[in-house]
Amino acid sequence: MSEALPKKIGVYKPTQFLGHGAMGNVYLCHDESLNRMVVVKQMVPSLYDHGTFVERFEREAKILAKLNHPVIVQPYALWQETSGQYSLAMEFVYGKSLRVLLDKKPKPPLWAVMEILYNLSSALAEAHRYGIIHRDIKPANIMIDKNGRVRLLDFGVAHDENDQELTEDFAQLGTASYMSPEQIHDSKSITPASDVFSIGIIACELLLGQNPFRGTSLAETFSNIQKKKVSSKFFDASVPKEMVIFIQKMLSKDPKKRPMANDVAEFFSMNMRRYPRDLRPYILEWANATLNEAETTFTPAMYSEKKKLSFKAGLITGAVVSIIAAIAIHFF
């Protein structure tokens, strides 16, 4: 993709055009003052012409900047040029998007699926606590960075409903296939539960190897999201049954029946208790192997429940021996 680079955007020097998303043009830039790379998004004028979007976006960007959550990509600055142009500078994530990785090789191992879902849901739980809804959860907005950390991009992004009608365009179909039923019905009725539905779709895509709602047209995709039930028969036998049931709950058509993002984080955290706490080296290895279309060989070992039981048994035995010894000393 070639696009003429502006000389400067605010105080930043553009070095590369990264793409054109729902909000507008995206540039990789150099911040000379701190000698670091940043990403700058220039909003399309139709977005800020409608006023209310900028108001909400500004309020949410301020809260996100304060949250300082390790998964949430940090906004650095939001400003308006004298020309009226709004721009947002944010942290540059050096890594690969989950979209790229899944296109190379679908179905990551179960531990990697749980690590991704845990990180996403805990970041969302934190944002939801402060009244912020993501609105655009999809693999293209999730990255695995160079340290093996899961990162979530593009909070609060709005698609301009007046200007950017959803079309049969490939990219639009990609975005549409992660929407919740209520989001399709009326984009203004989005609640935190809509983000949970989108995470449920990502959970299915990770475990099944494809998005079960994605159709060959926008109409088919929307109809699937509104009507289709994801049967437990679709999942491999290696996926725990209670995980399948939990994901089906996340995909309830009625938003009130879905768990909250915090419950989702708790669920995956519980299911990961037998794995090492820090899975980043393994995630990094998996991401690199996936990019090279190779098998992942460096995988985390699970602590066995048996070991835990024998530790418990050891404690009980120790206590009994001490009591017998104390009694023996008392009598002899």
**Residue window 73-102: x/- pattern of binding to ligand ATP, with contact defined by CB under 6 A:** x----------------xxxx---x-----
∠ CA 82-83-89, nearest 5°, is: 75
User: Can residue 42 be called a binding residue for Mg ion (CB under 5 A)?
Assistant: no
User: Can residue 198 be called a binding residue for Mg ion (CB under 5 A)?
Assistant: no
Q: Which is nearer to ligand ATP, 90 or 204 (CB)?
A: 90
Q: Which is nearer to Mg ion, 172 or 248 (CB)?
A: 172
* Residue whose Cβ sits closest to ligand ATP: 21
Residue 125 amino acid letter? A
CA-to-CA separations, 277 to 11, 143, 301, in angstroms, rounded: 40, 20, 11
H helix or E strand, kind and range, residue 231: none
Q: How far is the CB of 153 from Mg ion (least distance, A)?
A: 5
Query: How, if at all, do strands 95-97 and 13-20 pair?
Result: unpaired
Q: Which is nearer to ligand ATP, 90 or 101 (CB)?
A: 90
Please report, as residue ranges, which positions from 149 to 178 form the binding site for ligand ATP (by CB under 6 A): 153-154, 157, 175
Rounded distance, CA 93 to CA 10, Å?
Answer: 20
Residue closest to 48 by CA, chosen among 183, 167, 163: 163
**Catalytic status, residue 163:** no
Q: Taking a C-beta distance cutoff of 8 angstroms, is the pair 30, 37 a contact?
A: yes
Q: How far is the CB of 299 from ligand ATP (least distance, A)?
A: 27
- Active-site entry in 136, 145, 154, 195: 136
Rounded distance, CA 72 to CA 4, Å?
Answer: 30
User: Can residue 141 be called a binding residue for Mg ion (CB under 5 A)?
Assistant: yes
> What's the token pair of residue 2?
């070639």
**What positions carry a catalytic annotation?**
136
Binding site for ligand ATP (CB under 6 A): 18-19, 21-23, 26, 39, 73, 90-93, 97, 136, 140-141, 153-154, 157, 175
